[in-house]
Amino acid sequence: MPVFRALRLDKSDGEFRREYVELDDADLPSVDDPDQPGTHPEVVVDVDYSTVNFKDALAVADQSPIVRTWPMVPGIDLAGVVSSSDDPEVPVGQRVVVNGWGIGEESWGGLAQRARVRGSWTVPLPDGVSTAEAMAIGTAGYTSILCVLALEEHHVTPDSGPVLVTGAAGGVGSVAIALLAARGYEVHASTGRPEEADYLTTLGASTIVERSELSESGGRPLARARWAGAVDAVGSHTLANVLAQIQPEGCVAACGLAQGMDLTTSVAPFILRGVTLRGVHSVHVPRARRIEAWRRLDEDLDRDLLASMTTTVGLDDVPAVADDVLAGRIRGRVVVDVNA
């Protein structure tokens, strides 16, 4: 059995440990249903790249109950090549991306050189997307396109008016700006880092909104209608203030909680302006929608812009990067080359 490296977290005995270990395929836990063996055919993936999302940072730094079973290989994303397969739908040699489905939380994830996953969790990568680009996009970018699709489904078009992206310099925000601008939207970007204004403008934002304009509590239930729609990665008071400033019939795609999980608002935007608050999740999205999301990412996302928002690190750098993510020091996306 080939030996490979993994970052492994453990808290089985109550004390948190983080270590780099050498494993072989026999160490990779089954992800089939133990009560009905064979119902979820498995594949083993030679991982090329993973990433450090906000959730991964919390898991690696043991800051929030992300991990449900111990020991755990973290990493909610991976991209690589199928090296063995029990699933007739997923051939050996297929380039795949896996986002969510509880990897890095309930079953072992992508911060390792090999991973065992259910075949049904894999999405074949479009020919135009490399495994490195897939992880530059990662769950953050894939969630961004889900938000864009949600706005489109609620008839927010480039003709409807400007759209807002909150948490703009983060991973979800950066990709959302690039995707919306590519489709011709006028994008306003809310950030707490004014020094990133040039970066956000390069991605396609035309107006920078100071984070503090939106992040305070006690805002009015309805205010001047500024935006036709919004992608909100922040939640809390920011989401409440954004809802109050959405145009009639507009929509907010809410996917994040960077400011907080709370939401204190009123019904005014809904009953007086017909505003839609559309929740966006990424973990258990059906495969067909994932395939459409990756097709749209391939079509819409400018690869030079993606490169400009991406930093690449090695597996050994992950704990330090996790601290940076949690401290808000990371701009855009971080790719982990697990073989570096």
C-beta of 83 vs 308, nearer to ligand NAP: 308
C-beta of 192 vs 204, nearer to ligand NAP: 192
Q: Going by C-beta distance under 8 Å and a sequence separation of 6 or more, which residues neighbour residue 42?
A: 30, 31, 32, 85, 86, 87, 116, 117, 118, 119
When asked if residue 241 is in the footprint of ligand NAP (CB under 6 A), the reply is: no
C-beta of 49 vs 54, nearer to ligand NAP: 54
Query: Which region among 19-27, 126-134, 266-274, 276-284 touches ligand NAP (by CB under 6 A)?
Result: 276-284
Long-range contact list for 91-96, CB < 8 A, 24+ apart? 94/122, 94/124, 95/124, 95/125, 95/131, 96/43, 96/45, 96/122, 96/123, 96/124, 96/125
When asked if residue 74 is in the footprint of ligand NAP (CB under 6 A), the reply is: no
Helix (H, G, I), strand (E, B) or coil at 239: helix
What is the number of the residue whose Cβ is closest to ligand NAP? 170
When asked if residue 165 is in the footprint of ligand NAP (CB under 6 A), the reply is: no
**Contact string (CB under 6 A) for ligand NAP, positions 101-140, x = contact:** --------------------------------------xx
When asked if residue 225 is in the footprint of ligand NAP (CB under 6 A), the reply is: no
Q: How far is the CB of 111 from ligand NAP (least distance, A)?
A: 16
Q: Going by C-beta distance under 8 Å and a sequence separation of 6 or more, which residues neighbour residue 95?
A: 79, 80, 81, 124, 125, 131
Whether the Cβ atoms of residue 253 and residue 230 lie closer than 8 Å to each other: yes
Q: Which of 114, 116, 211, 296 binds ligand NAP (CB under 6 A)?
A: 211
Under rule CB under 6 A, how many of the chain's residues touch ligand NAP? Answer: 33
Q: What is the dihedral of CA 181, 187, 190, 193, to 10 degrees?
A: 50
When asked if residue 325 is in the footprint of ligand NAP (CB under 6 A), the reply is: yes
C-beta of 82 vs 104, nearer to ligand NAP: 104
When asked if residue 141 is in the footprint of ligand NAP (CB under 6 A), the reply is: no
Q: How far is the CB of 196 from ligand NAP (least distance, A)?
A: 6
Q: Which of 123, 233, 244, 306 binds ligand NAP (CB under 6 A)?
A: 233
Query: Which region among 8-16, 42-50, 87-95, 274-282 touches ligand NAP (by CB under 6 A)?
Result: 274-282
Q: How far is the CB of 232 from ligand NAP (least distance, A)?
A: 9
Q: Which segments within the chain are labelled E, that is strand?
A: 3-10, 17-24, 42-51, 77-85, 95-99, 114-118, 123-124, 163-165, 187-191, 205-210, 227-232, 246-254, 276-279, 310-314, 333-337
C-beta of 43 vs 151, nearer to ligand NAP: 151
Number of H helices, E strands in the chain: 10, 15
When asked if residue 257 is in the footprint of ligand NAP (CB under 6 A), the reply is: yes
Dist CA 118 CA 90 (whole Å): 10
Give the N- to C-terminal CA distance of the chain in Å, as an integer. 21
Q: Which of 172, 205, 246, 293 binds ligand NAP (CB under 6 A)?
A: 172
CA distances for 207 relative to 56, 142, 188, angstroms: 31, 24, 5
When asked if residue 278 is in the footprint of ligand NAP (CB under 6 A), the reply is: no
Q: What is the DSSP string of 13-72?
A: TSS-EEEEEEEEGGGSPP-S-TTSTTSS-EEEEEEEEEE--HHHHHHHTT-SS---SSSB
Query: Which region among 6-14, 21-29, 122-130, 230-238 touches ligand NAP (by CB under 6 A)?
Result: 230-238
Q: How far is the CB of 77 from ligand NAP (least distance, A)?
A: 10
Q: Would you tell me which residues interact with ligand NAP (CB under 6 A)?
A: 53-55, 139-140, 143, 167-173, 191-193, 211, 215, 233-234, 238, 255-259, 280-283, 325, 328, 330
